[in-house]
Structure 1
Amino acid sequence: MSLANLTVGERFTTKGRDYEIIEEKKHDVFKVKDLMDNVIITFTRKEIVTLLMEGKLEFSRDGKNAEGEYVKTYPFNDLSLLPEKVEKDMRFRFMAIEPLISLDVKNMNPYIMNRVEQLKNDGITGVSRSSLYRWYKAYKESGNEMYSLISSFHKCGSKDNRLQREVEIIIDEMIEKHYKKGERKTIKDLHLLVYHKIDEKNKLRSYENRLFHPSISTLSRRIKGKDQYEIEKARKGEMAANKKHGFVTIQEKTKYPLQRVEADHTRLDIFLVDDETRLPIGRPYITKLIDCFTGYPLGMYIGFEHPSYTTIMHAMKHAFFPKYYLKEKYPSIQNEWVAYGIPETLVVDRGKDFTSKHLEHACKELNINLVHCPPRKPWWKGTIERHFRTHNQQFIHQAYGTTFSNILDKGEYDPRKHAVIGFKRFLEMYHKWVVDIYGMDINKGVKGVPSLIWKKAFENKPLPGYPKKALDWEVKLMKLGHGTIQNYGVKTQYLYYQSKELRSLRNKLNNPNDKIQFKYDPTNLGKIYVYDEFDNRYIEAYCTEPAYANGLNEYTHKIIYKNARKDVNDVNISALAASKAQLQEQQEEEKETTLTKRLQYERSKGTGSDKELKEETNKEAYKQETEFLDSSVNDKRQEDKKAKQNQKAIALFESEEDDWGFLDVNG
């Protein structure tokens, strides 16, 4: 995956002008040349990265592929859509040069010769010194771009490859539906089911566009490529899976930052109150990623959304980018949140959210090695487990409204009566604990101060890189969907999406029933990103009902759909819109009654750290070509909603002293 490291020669475009870094004057200050006027100006790292995160800056770099051809790096590189053989060759070449990538020497020849001998000793023949050097050079010149290891990758995407991808989708569906079951169907049984499914599909296709039947050996390879523990567990049970695929290897000690990162969720032992009404709204969840080498947290998400891929997505996005918002958002914080970047290996448990296809696909696109630790063995991700214990002892259990971890510790303490901390203030307090206390204190696990260990590790090498475009990483982290492009556009979750570019893509397809892949943000159903295999990029398609979908999260949409559904085949957008308005009114009326209803209200609003932390970021999300959509309806709805909320403002406390007191919800 190609990253921008802010080194000499790096080029970027912002505000319609092209620039090139020509010198790093001092730490985090760069001398940059305007390529249009040859004027030399100065940029700080913070200025460049902030513009990147706001979508106002893009990096660009051309490089050579493995055959020595100059190619342009596309903003979206979806490795998962490569034909199997092409991807296998690419992975093999990367494996061959991987030990050479981190070397910083002038003469690579002895190291390359040594690597050739290592491969031969491992039984891998046919890799010459010249091939290894060519792959290594192509990879480095392209900015560590995986696509540079593919021969003529820009020529991929023929009709046969597109048809093959649809067969792959069918195979995956049949494996999930029939093979991963307790009935234990054989591979031969599965082959017949896939064969029949393809026959049914081909009845609607012309002879030239027919799908080809995979062989039994192809199905066998696909099954072997899946998580064998999960397959064994689904077919024979957890005990059999543990016995056959139990882990006995000893974990190696990490040697540098981002080599191994652990992630997990937990429900925080504290009741928070509504920032406006001061009524208790419940206990939030936190999803967190922590670097094992330094012990420093990479990123997090705090909200009332139950643990899911959505919370993982927000936490990973927070982890990948620098936290330059910190000082401006929270002036009381003294230090910087120094850790960020994409990990080499991400260690998670086997929860449903961590074994989802969305996380697997995102890690594949971002070139992250996803590792699932064995069940009921929490020591496999001991770093994050210890961190959660530390944040309870040092912060959560000392705050007003804590529930403690142990019922015996609670005694007569009622957390609901003592809950006084609002969600926004809690975010500030948690940031301060992470950055000014935990990050600056001795950590026995890593035998040092996490922030200092991180800084020292990057004294003599570049900081973690950035994406060519901020949207690149964001789209790769979004949820995955499949569908077809019909004359009305793409239909998903009873919503329709259309755009000019989408219509152009449909015209390029040989058959309107060809499967396409798209990504969508579960916190905003206003648009989706459809993969254009011809140009190797994602294109935007907008919901045809922006007044309903813009800013709507997937959880709320499902509630609305459930309320509006009279018959599964009789759902229309008017019914959904009416239900949405009714749901909003009911939530406004009921949010002050029971704790459960207030918690549901916060979740349906999407209350979470992602929204709070990006409040001041770029707000020009929907200014592209959308003349066929009427966004004024959405603006009017927002104005009406705000006016209604102002009318319903309730002054529960008459003095500042009361505002910081506790509220007895039991009367």
Structure 2
Amino acid sequence: MINLTVGLHVFANGTRVKILAMLSAGRLRVEEISTGAIFNITPGEVEFELPSPDMAVANQRLHTIDSAGRFSECPESIGSVAVERFQLIAGLLDRGALVKDIIKELKKMPGMSPSLAYRTFNRFSREQGPLCLVDLPRGRKLGSRSISATHEELIDRAINESYRGIAANQAAIIQKVHELCLVAQLKPPASKTIVRRIKARNPKELLSKKQGSKIAKQKYEVRGGKLLTSAPLELVQIDHGLVDCIIVDAESRAPLCRPWVTLAVDVHTRVVLGLNITLCYPSGMSVALCMSHMILPKHRWLKKIGMDGCEYPFYGIPKRIHVDNAKEFRSPILGAGCAIYGIKLTWRPPGTPHNGAHIERLIGTFMGKVHFLPGTTMSSIVQKGDYKPDKHAALTFVEFREWFVREVEIYHKSTHSELECPPLYKWEEAFKLSDGSVSNPLIVADSLKLLLDFMPLTRRVVSRSGIKMNNVEYYSPALKNFNNGTPCVVRYDPLSLRHIWVRPANTDHYIELSYSDMSLPDISIEEMKFLRKKLQERSNKRISQTEVLELKKTNKTLVAAAESKTRRVRAMVERTKLRRDKSHPLHDKAPRDTQAEKPRIDYSLKPVPFKVEE
């Protein structure tokens, strides 16, 4: 509220003015403070009230500006002298007095010498007010430095080199400066001087050197701006969190691992619009399950997990999703899925977790509740202390999921500090119409297609045996309606490769395919990669790669030798043939001497028995 009175200093039409008179209900006579020009304005042109110089003296102590540009308080008596001088000069200028007349009047004031009178007049400024005429204190100015430039350079060098790490302190810098001065054969400056140089540094820079830029930004960085929404589903933030609790095996009750949770928060109402709890590291499948859970009504899901009595009425297609720069969020699959349903996908700038403050705070809220569970790992080793999570872990995955969903329901029905009401109430009020009726978000009819549109994909073609992926063949009789070589989009679950879903070209529906060999076990893609790696290691152990290379080298040598000896080999074969030639001298059956050659027995003939006499 501005009470327009005579003498009030206000800002109007882009300049500072002083109200001189009220001419009428809609006209004011004002004087421009910087130039002294007088003109008329309307009350609507007044933007805001300015502090009056007289009010400043009456209500608060003035400040002086030293040579370093800092403000230091001065006594009220000095401030009143400055105001008296300012009013004298301003009054004389308003009456059109000459400079020599102003100097003459200034000389009449107590303690005013001719030189001081000229300096006072030259320092006069209507914009700064009486502040410009406050006498600066004598002596060395605050912040001035008297040591040599070499000493200053050594101190800066010591701070830059040694003020690093969590153990950095002033004593280490003082010791480093003394060492550098000893090497340079200089007398070291006083310890207080070195400490003042350290304190003169930017505290954000020092904390960044000591504890890292992230902590320094968290403490000192100014973060302007605020995400403003006017209705639910306008903006949703999604992120993952590693749960600070170890779960146990359902059969042996032995400790297993820490589960992962993916949460989606509606910024306007702060409701948990979607969630996914898994034992696997965050992936595109985690995002797909969270997106499906977020968009679809929850009653079927609650019934499947045995919590159909839980109140979870939140669902709908968001207009915009805000995520960080993780690989699964930068995936073109997520972008394509969002485009199908008209969702705008945006990312945080790298290294700025505060831009996702709503989801970060929500995850922190639930992790604070997790810290009361048996088997909690707390947020750090320091907080955990001597507590043994593996020893005290008690909840199975199903039990933890039930506990977590119930905590989400409690959160929805508890008063939110920012909203000053429960998120459930905020959601319900947002969907109430002016006539008292209630509207509802749009429902996606094909829930399976919704999930598949966000699942990981690859591309294959239909072959005679079906679809082959990861060296495994999949088949369904529905593929008979398509020709061999038809291109397809294949959606799959990385955690279970027993089934895949295929959308052939020029169709808008998916076909579910199973293993062609039904005896194959259900397996995840990570398990398949692991087993392939183990098989390769086992085969390399039985037959080393060096042995294979040696065999390849021998074969290569054999081929090269054969190429060079081809003609000689043909000659050898031909000579062998010639040795069997009847014209060869060794094959000549002519008698070698005069005696008749003895008959030879042909053992190839069937023997003839002798005739026995009766």
Structure 1 length normalisation: TM-score? 0.44
Give the TM-score of the pair, scaled to structure 2: 0.48
Larger Cα Rg: Structure 1 or Structure 2? 2
